[in-house]
């Protein structure tokens, strides 16, 4: 409760209100005809502490990001936390992202020293490669262990990522039915369980939740467009206009194809056309822009507009 009473901190680290139930106070600013999103720091400290406590026991940090926004959905704090640890970056929800852009991001993060795989945690696509990649990434450590006579000690992994990126889906899908829970280990917060995935890997069953961190409002808007922030606190119309503007230049033809609109018009005119096409009307036959905006964003989030990535390296 304490932090709810505090004055909003003008930090660039903000507590986000997520679809999965975080109700901390937030502040929305409207300026320059755009929605600016500011957040209060909140559960972040607790989550970071949990990770700091457990990271000592970890060999490899498996970080999930959303393949549609591999930069904006990545929390830079993890770099400090996971310092000295092996890193595997999973571009999740690759089924919703543009394959060409995903390739570019894969190369980009590989150049920065990450092992990178693109996956669909929902269907399991791309996940077979994970076990082998973890082994390969931790090769030096395994070699060191072997020289010290330690054999068959499983590698220990922690899953981290921002809310809604797919951590639970990933753990369920990766661990599957074959996994066994191992007992508590010394040093781990009571109640923490390890899931034995196979002979070589076990992972902490509680993922590390990191909130996104952004100095750039653009990053906040991208997180909002993919649906990581509750719509009821956002100016959905501004968000949809931003998205339409982006599609007009990055994915020409998509709006015309899906909504039968003339996309050469100004973005708000395009939204108006979508409202007409989809019978979104208010009293007096006025276009219901908000309803049309919800339709566009919803169609994007569930993949109906096709595979679209919102940022490039």
Residues at the interface with ligand G4P (CB under 6 A) = 20, 92-93, 95-96, 120-122, 161, 163-169
Cα 198 from Cα 188, distance rounded (Å): 21
Looking at the Cβ atoms of 26 and 68, the one nearer to ligand G4P is 68
Least CB distance from residue 36 to ligand G4P, whole Å?
Answer: 25
What's the CA gap between 248 and 257, in Å, rounded?
A: 12
Q: What is the DSSP string of 230-241?
A: -GGGS-HHHHHH
Least Å from the CB of residue 118 to ligand G4P? 10
**What minimum distance in Å lies between the beta carbon of 213 and ligand G4P?**
16
C-beta of 95: minimal distance to ligand G4P in Å?
5
Q: Which is nearer to ligand G4P, 162 or 236 (CB)?
A: 162
- Whose CB is nearest to ligand G4P? 166
Supply the minimum distance, in Å, between the C-beta of residue 151 and ligand G4P: 34
Distance (Å, rounded) from C-alpha 265 to C-alpha 271?
Answer: 10
- Give the count of beta carbons closer than 10 Å to the beta carbon of residue 191: 8
CA-nearest of 207, 208, 243, 209 to 224 is 243
* Pair 195, 175: CB distance under 8 Å: yes
Q: Which is nearer to ligand G4P, 270 or 310 (CB)?
A: 310
For residue 23, give every residue at least 6 positions away whose Cβ sits within 8 Å of its Cβ, in sequence order, or none.
Answer: 17
Residue with smaller CB distance to ligand G4P, 266 or 298: 298
- 42/287 with CB nearer ligand G4P: 42
Integer angstrom CA distances of residue 187 from 29, 82, 204, 215: 43, 17, 13, 35
Reduce the DSSP state of residue 154 to 3 states and report it: coil
Residue among 127 and 234 whose Cβ is closer to ligand G4P: 127
DSSP class of residue 155?
Answer: E
CB of 130 to ligand G4P, least distance (A): 13
């Amino acid at each position: 409760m304490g932090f709810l009473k505090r004055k909003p901190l003008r930090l660039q680290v903000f507590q986000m209100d997520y679809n999965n139930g975080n109700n901390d106070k937030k502040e929305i600013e409207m300026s320059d005809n755009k929605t600016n999103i500011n957040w209060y720091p909140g559960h972040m400290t607790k989550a970071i502490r949990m990770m700091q406590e457990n990271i000592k026991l970890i060999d490899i940090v498996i970080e999930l990001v959303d393949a549609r926004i591999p930069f904006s959905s990545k929390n830079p704090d993890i770099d400090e936390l996971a310092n000295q640890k092996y890193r595997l970056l999973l571009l999740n929800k690759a089924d919703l992202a543009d394959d060409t852009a995903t390739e570019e991001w894969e190369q980009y993060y590989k150049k920065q020293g990450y092992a990178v795989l693109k996956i669909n945690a929902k269907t399991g696509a791309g996940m077979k490669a994970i076990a082998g990649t973890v082994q390969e990434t931790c090769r030096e450590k395994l070699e060191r262990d072997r020289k010290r006579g330690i054999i068959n000690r499983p590698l220990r992994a922690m899953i981290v990522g921002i809310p809604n990126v797919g951590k639970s889906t990933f753990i369920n899908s990766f661990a599957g039915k074959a996994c066994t829970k191992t007992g508590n280990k010394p040093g781990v917060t009571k109640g923490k369980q390890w899931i034995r995935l196979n002979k070589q890997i076990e992972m902490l069953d509680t993922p590390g939740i990191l909130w996104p961190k952004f100095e750039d409002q653009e990053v906040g808007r991208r997180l909002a467009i993919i649906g990581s922030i509750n719509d009821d606190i956002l100016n959905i119309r501004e968000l949809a206009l931003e998205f339409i503007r982006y599609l007009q230049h990055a994915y020409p033809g998509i709006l015309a194809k899906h909504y039968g609109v003339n996309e050469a018009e100004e973005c708000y005119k395009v939204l108006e056309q979508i409202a007409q096409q989809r019978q979104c009307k208010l009293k007096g036959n006025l276009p219901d822009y908000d309803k049309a905006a919800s339709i566009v964003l919803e169609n994007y989030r569930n993949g109906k507009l096709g595979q679209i990535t919102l940022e490039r390296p």
